[in-house]
Structure 1
Amino acid sequence: MISIDANSQSAAAHARRGGELLAAGDAPGAEAAFQLALQSDPDHVFALANLAWMREREGLPEAAESYYLRALAQSPDDVHLLQNLGALLMQLRRPVEAERIDRRVLALAPDLPSAWSNLGALLAALQRETQAERCYRHAIALDDSYLNARYNLSYLLLRQGRFPEGWRMLEARPQPTAFGAYFRFPRWQGESLAGKSVLICPEAGMGDMLLLCRYASVLRQRGASRVSILCHAPLKTLLQTLRDIDGVIAIGEAVPDDGWDCWVPVLSLPGLSGTTLETIPCSTAYLRAQTPAVQDWAARLPPARLRVGLAWKGNAQFENDDARSLAALDALAPLGAVEGAQFVSLQKGAGEDETCAALPLVAGGAALADMADTAALIANLDLVISVDTAVAHLAGALGKPCWLLLPDYLPDWRWLAGRLDSPWYPAMRLFRQPSIGGWQPLIGQVADALAREAAEKAVRTDRPG
């Protein structure tokens, strides 16, 4: 018979090997090692905790929760395990349980900055923003260098329109380090640009670049002699229509490591430019669709009194995509009852092939090679209705009327709090999901508004002279 001590030693060895394999990037090997550890000791906390983390990364939150609970049964006061479980429960939209876990962590470790920041993030998601801000500021008071609390606080401040401090806090965000390591010229820190050349570099998704590429004109106004942009490949052709831009380079193309005076990450531009809520650089349209492509789409689309573009899904990798995207095109079925409206799909990638019998669509997605193609299609529309994805930013940058559908849970800071308009995009109207009821009541409001729009368009079209 194998002794308990021998089993423990075997479990420890397997678990240690699993940790080494996981650190080396060998997930299958790590999985096998951790399972061997559990065969020897079903209650091995290190193996259970790592398997929980792995299940989270695999998109299996229920399995992850089960492993966390097994580990906590053996180590109920493990702060790290409790924090992970609290974050998972928040992801699963179980805020009452998540708050109970987060407050238990604070009881065990009241001077832990991450515990205060995590509770703040939960309270902010529940729109208890005053309490959330106190949590963030307490975390920063405990450790002024704790970046997560500063980054979390930036979202809250920016959503409230408190831009000056919000931009400063936003500098705590995870930032790309490759540019600074690669370029042989410095990052712009806000100093004079008189006679200098600047390269704007991308961060995050295409929406941010579409929103903030307008700052090329601001850099020119500050004296820059040359402004170039490095961008996502699908944006290259479109961004060449940007006023005050000298060059556009797509990610994946050869980028010289010299030739500019400074570079700047795109999300730093508003703060370095001193942008306040009142001084957002705003014009009706700062990007243009190219005429040949616009004419090509005009020839493809059937005649219609009111053409409406639809985008109902964003990038599934986005942290809040399950809240901001619609589960399926069927959710927009009530729009199909609006007389005189023709619907055109702007969906590319996820959801592109979806159909809805109550909402016949003119297909667009398969023919859209890049954002310049999408811009040309949008130019032929009267209105765009979109969830919070790059299509909405594109419509806004083109000056096309856009109705943006926003979730109640963690709406992005770019749309501010409580507003039904956007100071970033004059032609945009915001529709906000109610705190209860999900998307259905909001889409009912959109359908009513669209019916009024179609009726008004019919009157304008039929009016003599």
Structure 2
Amino acid sequence: MATLPTGEPRQEQQPQPHAQQRPVWPEAPRSAGPYADALAKVKPLIDANAPMSNADLVQALNIAAISSLGLKQPEDAERYWRRVIDVQPDSVEAYNSLGIMFKGMGRLDEAEAIYRQLLSVRPDYVEGHNNLGAVLFDLNRLPEAEAAYREALARQPDCAEAYHNLGKLLHAAKRFAEAEKAYRKALQLQPDLVENHVHLGNTLQQLDRLTEADDAYQRALAIRIDIPEVHHNRGIVLKTLGRLSESEASYRRAIAFRPNFHLAQFSLGSLLLSIGRYEEAWRLYESRYEQEGNIHHHSATVLRCPRWRGEPLAGKRLLVWQEDGLGDMVQFGRYLPLLKAQGVTHITFACATALRRMFKRIDCVDDVMSHGEALLRSNTYDTWTSLISVPAYLRTTIRTIPSALAVNVDPMLVQQWSERLATLPAGRKIGIVWKGNPKHHNDANRSVPSLAALAPLWSVPGFSFVSLQKGQGEDEAKAPSAKQPLLHLGSDVTDFADTAAIVAQLDLLICVDTSTAHLAASLGKRCWVMLPAHDVDWRWLRDRNDSPWYPDTVRLFRQAKDEGWGALIERVREALGNVEF
């Protein structure tokens, strides 16, 4: 995108109808101080319609516009630049300046209009097509933006900026292979532009070509070392590559260059959690509340009582606010009794519908309500917290993790579901969940592609299988093949109270990383969790087949690097054949 002109604008020579002395104009100011002085010199001439040539008038108007913008008077700047266009209809500088100003102010429709007006006058103006594309991109009109960038390139095939912008668009459209080609073309034309290397690295990361992405980030940092975002992005790549100490160092460099880089703090916290360095990790993980635009920052903004940060709770009314996943609430529900033990007089848990019936049966919870109701009443509480924040203020270490939440199963629901389970043949009952939430950022890796992939498990004698699958995967469960004997209950489950009543009657749960794993483990049921090789959640730590969060119930089956689900499921089958109950 072009930048606002700061010097004297270029003008074509205009014939002068009358000989006259040429005014001596001040240069357009380059810092805040001289703006008022420059405007004071040209404004009287403009306002008085002093006799001058068109070229001199255009120059005066440009100086007035730039000075007005420097004085934060965009309405005046707009008026002056529009007068330039009236005097000199093909003044690309005036059109561009207006377009840039409108775009910067978020007046995108007006920016589009001014660029289209420019192109109607100068259809061969490459920068106009490129800048129009940038506006259309911001308007999320990607096909039109792409057409504008390609028009710029058709007119000037060596326009590096248009290739770079086209790459950004193709990346946003998830056309990553095409985006890579556009960025590489931009790099051929402009090899020392740091943004080209950075955005190429981002695209290669999406293509899962992580070593190449790291190379691109390193080239960017060789050009300019002090870009926090690049250190952060490189930290993500290094973490995924398993180069954890280098990842940590990269995150710390990002924070060193920008101490209030909350996303980097959060990423470092997540890394440290994944390797069990909880003492520092929890504090860094709290930085999620400082990241504008995410749900945690929103919670801190809308709730009308202070957020708890470890202050004494004796005699206080506490609102516990769910802002993370269902499984998170089950895992960290173990902190509710500890909060109550701090002397809290009343705990209200605001949560999703799926959790309410189950948490109403938790002894230390005094009230359960919807988020909407709790928000309206939030001013009646002394303080609020998220369950995942509690370990930061209770200083939980890997050795002091509290016992799992004691789930109180409704006996009436147990009886109700036992009638369905009684239709199974005699033997052990194994629950299965093979897909997680499709909206999860790592769902493509952590969910098993299909129910059919679990077929090796059916060959182990003496077991019946119960599907607790909800959402994606339900259709498969409703119509399993003849070789996949399966009692599917997931579609009839309404909430976690139902799920708890079913799991309480099973002998084992085999699942991917989903909320049901936390529920089963909290119920004291044996739970085998199948984990992907890529981007394993921090709560499962690294390089171990057990979990300190559920030391007596959870067994972890991890994909090896470059191992598919088939090999992992075969290992689960072998374990199932050898298990003793």
- Of the structure 1 ranges 254-263 and 65-74, higher mean CA displacement relative to structure 2 is found in 65-74
Is contact 1:282-1:423 (8 Å) kept? Answer: no
From the superposition, tell whether residues 143 and 287 of structure 1 become closer, same or farther in structure 2 (CA, over 3 Å). Answer: same
Q: Output one character per residue of 1:155-185: Cα deviation in whole Å (capped at 9) or x when no partner.
A: 2211111101000111222452333332321
Residue among 84, 88, 107 paired with 2:203:
88
State the partner residue of 1:429: 555
Is contact 1:194-1:225 (8 Å) kept? Answer: yes
Give the secondary structure class of the aligned counterpart of 2:548.
Answer: coil
State the partner residue of 1:279: 400
From the superposition, tell whether residues 57 and 11 of structure 1 become closer, same or farther in structure 2 (CA, over 3 Å). Answer: closer
Is contact 2:327-2:514 (8 Å) kept? Answer: yes
Residue among 444, 454, 468 paired with 1:346:
468
Q: Which has the higher contact order (CA 8 A, sep 6+)?
A: 1
**By how many angstroms is 1:86 displaced?**
1.7
Q: Output one character per residue of 1:202-221: Cα deviation in whole Å (capped at 9) or x when no partner.
A: 22322211111221111112
**By how many angstroms is 1:440 displaced?**
2.1
Inter-partner Cα distance in structure 2 for 1:13 and 1:138:
34
Q: Output one character per residue of 1:37-91: Cα deviation in whole Å (capped at 9) or x when no partner.
A: 4224346666655554455455543344444445445444443343233233223
- Of the structure 1 ranges 8-17 and 327-336, higher mean CA displacement relative to structure 2 is found in 8-17
Residue among 306, 325, 332 paired with 2:428:
306
State the partner residue of 1:36: 148
From the superposition, tell whether residues 439 and 19 of structure 1 become closer, same or farther in structure 2 (CA, over 3 Å). Answer: closer
Is contact 1:11-1:41 (8 Å) kept? Answer: no
State yes or no: 1:387 paired with 2:512: yes
Is contact 2:133-2:144 (8 Å) kept? Answer: no
Inter-partner Cα distance in structure 2 for 1:72 and 1:357:
56
Corresponding letter in the other structure for 1:38: R
Inter-partner Cα distance in structure 2 for 1:16 and 1:435:
40
Corresponding letter in the other structure for 1:263: W
State the partner residue of 2:129: 11
Q: Report the TM-score when normalising by structure 1.
A: 0.89
User: Structure 1: which 5+ runs fail to align?
Assistant: 22-26, 458-465
State the partner residue of 2:356: 236
Give the secondary structure class of the aligned counterpart of 2:556.
Answer: strand
Q: Report the TM-score when normalising by structure 2.
A: 0.72
Give matches, 1:281-300, under 5 Å.
Answer: 281-283=402-404, 286-300=406-420
- Of the structure 1 ranges 174-183 and 377-386, higher mean CA displacement relative to structure 2 is found in 174-183
State the partner residue of 2:96: none
Give matches, 1:183-198, under 5 Å.
Answer: 183-198=303-318
From the superposition, tell whether residues 153 and 254 of structure 1 become closer, same or farther in structure 2 (CA, over 3 Å). Answer: closer
Give the secondary structure class of the aligned counterpart of 1:276.
Answer: coil
Inter-partner Cα distance in structure 1 for 2:150 and 2:501:
58
Equivalenced residue count is 447
State yes or no: 1:322 paired with 2:437: no
State the partner residue of 1:259: 380
Give the secondary structure class of the aligned counterpart of 1:177.
Answer: helix
State yes or no: 1:138 paired with 2:259: no
Inter-partner Cα distance in structure 2 for 1:158 and 1:201:
22
State the partner residue of 1:337: 459
State the partner residue of 1:177: 297
Corresponding letter in the other structure for 2:411: T
- Of the structure 1 ranges 86-95 and 5-14, higher mean CA displacement relative to structure 2 is found in 5-14
Give matches, 1:28-67, under 5 Å.
Answer: 29-42=141-154, 49=164, 52-53=167-168, 55-67=170-182
Is contact 1:311-1:345 (8 Å) kept? Answer: yes
Corresponding letter in the other structure for 2:209: R
Residue among 545, 549, 564 paired with 1:420:
545
From the superposition, tell whether residues 55 and 361 of structure 1 become closer, same or farther in structure 2 (CA, over 3 Å). Answer: farther
Corresponding letter in the other structure for 1:379: A
Q: What's the Cα RMSD here?
A: 2.4
State yes or no: 1:268 paired with 2:384: no
Inter-partner Cα distance in structure 2 for 1:135 and 1:118:
9
**By how many angstroms is 1:254 displaced?**
5.9
Corresponding letter in the other structure for 2:492: A
Q: Output one character per residue of 1:245-280: Cα deviation in whole Å (capped at 9) or x when no partner.
A: 111122355632321100112321111111111111
Is contact 2:149-2:166 (8 Å) kept? Answer: no
Corresponding letter in the other structure for 2:542: A
Could you tell me the percent identity over the aligned residues? 38
State the partner residue of 2:564: 438
From the superposition, tell whether residues 430 and 66 of structure 1 become closer, same or farther in structure 2 (CA, over 3 Å). Answer: same
Is contact 2:460-2:576 (8 Å) kept? Answer: yes
State the partner residue of 2:221: 106
Is contact 2:149-2:165 (8 Å) kept? Answer: no
Inter-partner Cα distance in structure 2 for 1:312 and 1:181:
37
Inter-partner Cα distance in structure 1 for 2:339 and 2:186:
54
From the superposition, tell whether residues 398 and 57 of structure 1 become closer, same or farther in structure 2 (CA, over 3 Å). Answer: farther
State yes or no: 1:227 paired with 2:342: no
Corresponding letter in the other structure for 1:424: W
Is contact 1:114-1:139 (8 Å) kept? Answer: yes
Q: Output one character per residue of 1:69-127: Cα deviation in whole Å (capped at 9) or x when no partner.
A: 45445444443343233233223221221121121111122122222222221111111
Corresponding letter in the other structure for 1:217: P
Inter-partner Cα distance in structure 2 for 1:91 and 1:76:
22
Is contact 1:233-1:251 (8 Å) kept? Answer: no
From the superposition, tell whether residues 71 and 193 of structure 1 become closer, same or farther in structure 2 (CA, over 3 Å). Answer: same
**By how many angstroms is 1:327 displaced?**
1.3
Q: Output one character per residue of 1:364-413: Cα deviation in whole Å (capped at 9) or x when no partner.
A: 12111222222222122111011111111221222221001111222111
Inter-partner Cα distance in structure 1 for 2:339 and 2:137:
48
Is contact 1:15-1:46 (8 Å) kept? Answer: no
**By how many angstroms is 1:441 displaced?**
2.1
Give matches, 1:192-231, under 5 Å.
Answer: 192-231=312-351
In terms of Rg, which structure is larger? 2
State the partner residue of 2:278: 163
User: Structure 2: which 5+ runs fail to align?
Assistant: 1-119
Corresponding letter in the other structure for 2:528: W
**By how many angstroms is 1:148 displaced?**
2.5
Is contact 1:7-1:41 (8 Å) kept? Answer: no
Inter-partner Cα distance in structure 2 for 1:147 and 1:308:
43
State the partner residue of 2:82: none
